């Protein structure tokens, strides 16, 4: 059985949603409940996925492993469409995620001041520009990859929820918000959020 290490609200939520979308049994383990988590993942980050004692790290890599191993509709089989789906995943993971991470870094490292607020505002404006790129992609399709939602849409939905932690405005267009709403309403997404809340008690 898979063991998924998570922190509430972190990007590990997306991996849990994928596990549920694939109908796979797994054990959910709060990172905070582990005495020395760095023995599991040396960099201390989530997610980490234990597979019979072998541990996978890095969320995008974990999701690609799961999608390659188990039959699904989240990663197309046809080469060119599959490549675009992987590009979308990497855009979410390697471009949008770090942009949000900068907000967390600034918020945690800078003392409250006008300088901090200005820095947060600049970071938020950059994220808003990324969401505008997504908005443009969604002009003729409901999801980043087309008519079928993918892991990229799941990741973006998780990231969108992080905006509430900051005193700056991140602009998310109506089409992007509609996509977020559809992903958030998936039974697997709802169950993952509920499971995190229960495991965090």
Residues 179 and 83 in one domain: yes
Query: How would you write the pLDDT of the chain (201 residues) with one tens digit per residue?
Result: 899 999 999 999 999 999 999 999 999 999 999 999 999 999 999 999 999 999 999 999 999 999 999 999 999 888 989 999 999 999 999 999 999 999 999 999 999 899 999 999 999 999 999 999 999 999 999 999 899 999 999 999 999 999 999 989 999 999 999 999 999 999 999 999 999 988 765
Residues 94 and 153 in one domain: yes
Residues 119 and 175 in one domain: yes
Phi, psi (5° rounding) for residue 158? -60, -45
Closest of 56, 131, 121, 124 to residue 91, by C-alpha: 131
CATH classification of the domain holding 55: 3.40.30.10
Q: Enter the pTM of the model.
A: 0.95
Q: Residue 40 and residue 44: Cα distance in Å, rounded?
A: 8
Residues 67 and 96 in one domain: no
Residue 49: which H helix or E strand, with range? strand 48-51
Residues 89 and 61 in one domain: no
**Paired tokens of 167:** 């005193």
46: containing domain: 2-73+187-199
Closest of 74, 82, 55 to residue 14, by C-alpha: 74
Residues 89 and 173 in one domain: yes
What is the predicted pLDDT for the residue at 80? Answer: 87
């Amino acid at each position: 059985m898979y063991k998924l290490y998570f922190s509430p609200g972190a990007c590990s939520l997306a991996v849990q949603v994928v596990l549920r979308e694939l109908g796979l049994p797994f054990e959910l383990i709060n990172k905070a409940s582990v005495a020395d988590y760095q023995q599991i993942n040396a960099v201390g980050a989530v997610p980490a996925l234990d597979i019979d004692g072998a541990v996978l790290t890095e969320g995008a890599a974990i999701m690609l492993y799961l999608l390659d191993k188990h039959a699904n509709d989240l990663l197309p089989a046809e080469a060119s469409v599959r490549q675009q789906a992987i590009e979308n995943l990497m855009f979410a993971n390697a471009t949008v995620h770090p942009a949000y991470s900068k907000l967390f870094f600034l918020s945690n490292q800078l003392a409250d001041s006008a300088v901090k607020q200005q820095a947060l505002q600049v970071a938020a404006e950059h994220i808003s520009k990324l969401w505008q790129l997504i908005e443009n992609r969604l002009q003729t399709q409901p999801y980043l990859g087309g008519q079928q939602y993918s892991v990229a849409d799941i990741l973006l939905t998780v990231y969108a929820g992080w905006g509430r932690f900051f005193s700056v405005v991140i602009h998310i267009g109506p089409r992007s918000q509609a996509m977020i709403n559809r992903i958030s309403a998936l039974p697997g997404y709802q169950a993952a959020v509920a499971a995190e809340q229960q495991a965090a008690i």
